Amino acid sequence: MSEQYLRETPFHDRIAAVASAQSWERWQGHITAVTLGGMDREYFAIRNSASVYDVSPLIKYRITGADAARFVDRLITRDVARCAIGQAYYTPWCDDDGKVIEDGTLFRLGKADFLLNAALHNLHWLRDTAYGFDVTIEDVSAEIAGLSVQGPLAQTVLIAMGIGGLERLAHMRLAETRLDDRPMRVSRTGFTGDLGYELWIRPGDASWLWDRLMAAGALYNVLPIGSAALNHARIEAGFILVNVDFISATYALRPSQKRSPYELGLGWAVNLKKDGYFIGKRALLAERKAATPRRALVGLEIDGRKPAVDAFIYAGKREVGRTTSAIWSPTLKKNIAIASIAGDQALPGTELGIEIWHPKELKIERSMVGCRVVHRPFYDPPRKKA
């Protein structure tokens, strides 16, 4: 009488029906696909036609109440006053030491109505920091199902499906719409760095949406994908992943492993000028005054074509960091990585050495090659924002 302890997403039946690879993993207590049929096909769907990825397990907090805007402004590092209704904000949020707890997307649904999309559970932190504010914070994750449609044909497919007004929907904007008389929120957001949208619906409408999308997409090579292909795309897009590229301040056992937004390359998302205190402001102000940040999360282009997974990076003989995410990019035809390195080595153009261990017919070989610091994102097609 032991219960099933991983949840199925609202799309599970549909995905399982086409997941011939039977390759599953966990995502926040849910069963999700690593790949459905073939990782390469799925990856190229993202860059070549249109991909469909189930993002239902994302954690979503709804923040409402008279003080909602004031509270969110205190929570995040960006300035909420500048976030229009119907806009999506990518933003980190920090602890009092100015160390990043997480990064995520904030949807402003109304004057005093927000949706915070997160990868980790934050309710405890949100409720604690909401003390004294007239706000209600609810975990609405299970009330909203989501599909991410990404790729050069994403817009075409969604228009073919009958979703109106997409041509006018700018990057990082939301639209509330209806299709077949069912409510749907469309956001022009995603984790691939490509043209793409996320469709948010009631869980009960999941099969309907899936079937509609697949029917409309049949002519355009729309392909459901798993997390492996997505991960390739997100690295190319330079998006960082909590507990992969950095440890959340909440989860770090050692204080030295916590990172500030500056140390993660997210300085652009910190607004020190906004009115009043936000969590971490004092520490971030002090950090800004000091010279270079202690650590930096940078992009690397690496010689050769061996993916530099968990590789150490050297400046001469000095070890200065290691890679946190690394792939061979099929689109760029480049060997790329996100790496955590010493702050004084982080200037774009800096030439470094990297030690890569790679398996070769049951042997492990070591190669020492050159690499250089480059700007993230690695891949940023104009269509993303067009």
Partner 1 sequence: MQRYDAVIVGAGHNGLVTAAYLAKAGKKVMVLERRHLIGGAAVSEQLYPGFTYSSCSYVCSLLRPEIMRDLDLPRHGLQVNPYETSSCPTHHGEPLVMYHDADRNRRSMSRHSARDAEAYDCYSLEIRRQCRFIKPLLMMTPPDPTSFKWGDIEGLLRLGRTFGQMGERQMYDILRFWTMSIADFLDEYFESEIVKALSAGSSIIGTALGPRSPGSAYVLLHHYMGEVDGEIGAWGFARGGMGSVSKAIAGAAREAGAEIRTEAEVTAVIVKGGKAVGVALADGEEVYGTAIVSNLDPKRTFLKILPRQHLPEEVYEQAERFKIRGSSGKLNIALDALPQFKGLPYDAHCGAIEIGDSLDYLERAFDDYKYGQWSRRPFLDIVIPSTVDPTMAPPGKHYMSVFVQYVPYKLADGPWTDEKRQAFGDTVIDTISEYCPNFRDLILHCQVRTPWDLENEVGLTEGNIFHGELTLDQLMFNRPFPGAAQYRTPVRNFYMCGSGTHPGGGVMGAPGANAAREILKDFKGRVLS
Binding mask 82-121 for partner 1 (x = CB under 8 A): ---------------x-----------------------x
Instruction: Give yes or no for residue 167 binding partner 1 (CB under 8 A).
Output: no
- DSSP H helical ranges for 52-163: 68-75, 123-129, 154-161
Residue numbers 16-35 binding partner 1 by CB under 8 A: 26, 28-29
The torsion angles phi and psi of 3, rounded to 5 degrees, stand at -85, 160
As measured in angstroms, the least distance from the Cβ of 223 to partner 1 is 28
Instruction: Give yes or no for residue 131 binding partner 1 (CB under 8 A).
Output: no
What CA–CA distances, in Å, run from 337 to 1, 3, 159, 195, 376?
46, 41, 35, 22, 10
Instruction: Give yes or no for residue 256 binding partner 1 (CB under 8 A).
Output: yes
As measured in angstroms, the least distance from the Cβ of 26 to partner 1 is 6
Q: Which is nearer to partner 1, 168 or 254 (CB)?
A: 254
Q: Given candidates 82, 127, 318, 383, which one binds partner 1 under the rule CB under 8 A?
A: 127
**N-terminal to C-terminal alpha carbon distance within the chain:** 54
Q: Given candidates 48, 250, 350, 367, which one binds partner 1 under the rule CB under 8 A?
A: 250
Q: How many residues bind partner 1 (CB under 8 A)?
A: 23
Q: Which is nearer to partner 1, 1 or 364 (CB)?
A: 1
Instruction: Give yes or no for residue 6 binding partner 1 (CB under 8 A).
Output: yes
Q: Are 375 and 299 in contact (CB under 8 A)?
A: yes
Q: Are 295 and 374 in contact (CB under 8 A)?
A: no
Q: Are 260 and 282 in contact (CB under 8 A)?
A: no
Q: Identify the sign of the CA torsion 308, 231, 258, 254.
A: negative
As measured in angstroms, the least distance from the Cβ of 28 to partner 1 is 7
Instruction: Give yes or no for residue 282 binding partner 1 (CB under 8 A).
Output: no
Element (H, E) at 150: strand 145-150
Q: Given candidates 123, 218, 285, 332, which one binds partner 1 under the rule CB under 8 A?
A: 123
Q: Given candidates 131, 132, 181, 255, which one binds partner 1 under the rule CB under 8 A?
A: 255
Neighbours of 204 (CB within 10 A): 10
Q: Is 318 exposed, middle or buried (0-12, 13-18, 19+ CB in 10 A)?
A: exposed
Instruction: Give yes or no for residue 2 binding partner 1 (CB under 8 A).
Output: yes
